[in-house]
Amino acid sequence: MGRKRESERQVLLREFVRLLRPFLVLMVVATIIGVVGGLATAWLLSAINDGLHGEEGVTWQLLARFAALCVVSVGGTAIAGAVNSVVGQKIIAALRKDISARILRAPIASLERQRAHRLMSVLTNDVDTVSAFTFNFSGYAIALAVTIGSFAYLLSLSAIVFLMAIVSLAVGILINIISRRVWIRDYEGVRVAQDELQKQYRAVIDGAKELKISRPRRSRVHGMLLSGAADNIAALKSRAMRLYWIADGAGSGVFFVVIGLLIAGRNMLGIDVAVITGAVIVLLYVKGPVEQIASALPVFDQARIAFGRIAALSAEFTQHEPNIDMTYPGVVVPGAPAIRSIELRGVSYAFSGDTAASFALGPIDLTIHSGEMLFIVGENGSGKTTLVKLLLGLYTPQAGEILLDGEAVTPEGRDDYRQLFSTIFSDYYLFDDLAYGALPEEAAPHLQRLGIAHKVSIDGDRFSTTDLSTGQRKRLALVQAWLERRPVIVTDEWAADQDPDFRRVFYEELLPEMKRQGRTLIVVSHDDRYFHVADRIIHMANGQIVVSRLTQEEGAKEAAAGPSGGG
């Protein structure tokens, strides 16, 4: 357990240093300026006390020193706060971009093992928590400088007063340390509960229709799961903050006890009135910065826990695919070089897990020729989607290899290989912008042909809306794929959400037209009434394939004899 904690700390420190490195010099300079301003504030207290009790009274020199210290104090605090706030936000921006880049560079298999609500919780809750701490960092540094300067001034006034103040500060720190051991467990519990809350938020939003229909499930999701998570977070945070405020009150009480002892024991301690007055002014003033430092403890703990979760997620995505370019290329001409063939040679892939979740595909031997229309069919769970992900280069074969035009696809070339494909997955994400380099006038005829021109228009380089029915959204996704002009188009159950007319148009008009354009088509389908349009059909069962060749002429004869079934 100790080694695990140490490893987590090392990961946390390494990630923090890596993100901080580009801004370290600017942050250190700004913090030093803030510290100087804080020390000037403590010196300002000395000037005030001298003005009140100095033998010479208020002199021009004293006023000049007072004015200069005011400028340094106010200016240093303002400069440090402004610069560190900017730096802090740059660090947060870098953190957000870094996490997103790690997700994009991670293998798809690694992403699929993650829970979506956990990723969103890290990207929102944890990053915002770290952001709040970085925003206030300069304030904490300045408060620390004011405290150090004030205690140094107390030492110059009287060793006894300084000793009493140090003892009170030590007692307050001890109270906070003891309290912190308790509240830190509560904050860790809060962070775990926030994952569950994010999960239930997704259930409420994504499952809104199902929850409308089912009163028992709605009551369980809201009344037990979501409310339970929300109440748990509230209870844990309340207990942690209650303990913090008790500790804070106890620490403040110790300061007032010291002030009371100084006033009550003035004659007994033999301390000059000017010293007592100066000490009381300093103690009353420094109480604010000390409380600010104390208030940083729970914020720091929350930020540390949040950054630990970020570092843990980053550590899970340390393995990344090579040559995943994140730079924006500017103007891109759509399309990709023509291909001759894609070959899977002895390809195998297996999912690890318990017996119920395990599945193995292959070994698969398959060659797809340029311009071919290939249908992949089979029962649910037969391995169609896994085969498609291997073909697309989204999964890396655990055995065997994929060849493009006779050349093996290497890890370094896999991302270039993937650029050959336009895809519409069954769980696709619909982007609202046009394919890179596509001209608006190219989109309009396709929108008209697919029956969505009355709802969707072109607004600059974007579609005017994606708020469409399920079938219409898939038609818009097909427009996207068409405009990309890539040599291979892969669709996964595209026609499942289409009415009979558009289903016929897809199989008997659109697919043949794309084939005439030289596109290679890979179609996952259950629509056996349209199998006759394929050049070849691959039947899949239990992770294996059976290849049956079917020419369009033979398919037409079967279709004339009568369809065998619908989609």
d(CA 326, CA 415): 12
Q: What is the pLDDT of residue 38?
A: 72
Alpha helices in 106-158 (DSSP H): 108-112, 116-121, 127-157
Q: What is the pLDDT of residue 480?
A: 86
CA 84 vs. chain centroid, Å, equals: 23
Q: What is the pLDDT of residue 141?
A: 76
Within the chain, which residue ranges are assigned CATH 1.20.1560.10? 2-316
User: What is the tens place of the pLDDT at every residue in 451-461?
Assistant: 888 888 888 77
Structure tokens, 179? 């309290």
CA angle at 543 for the pair 542 and 547, rounded to the nearest 5° = 100
User: 341: how many CB neighbours lie within 10 A of its CB?
Assistant: 14
Q: What is the CATH number of domain 341-561?
A: 3.40.50.300
Tell me the residue type at 113.
R
The verdict on pTM exceeding 0.85 is: no
Within the chain, which residue ranges are assigned CATH 3.40.50.300? 341-561
CB–CB of 347/402 below 8 Å?
yes
Residues of the chain with pLDDT under 50: 1-2, 5-6, 354-356, 551, 553-555, 557-559, 561-567
Backbone angles phi, psi at 150, to 5 degrees: -65, -40
Which CATH topology does 2-316 take?
A: ABC transporter transmembrane region fold (1.20.1560)
d(CA 143, CA 524): 64
Backbone angles phi, psi at 436, to 5 degrees: -60, 125
CB–CB of 383/359 below 8 Å?
yes
Q: What is the pLDDT of residue 551?
A: 47
Q: What is the pLDDT of residue 564?
A: 40
Q: What is the 3-class SS of 182-249, one letter each residue?
A: HHHHHHHHHHHHHHHHHHHHHHHHHCHHHHHHCHHHHHHHHHHHHHHHHHHHHHHHHHHHHHHHHHHH
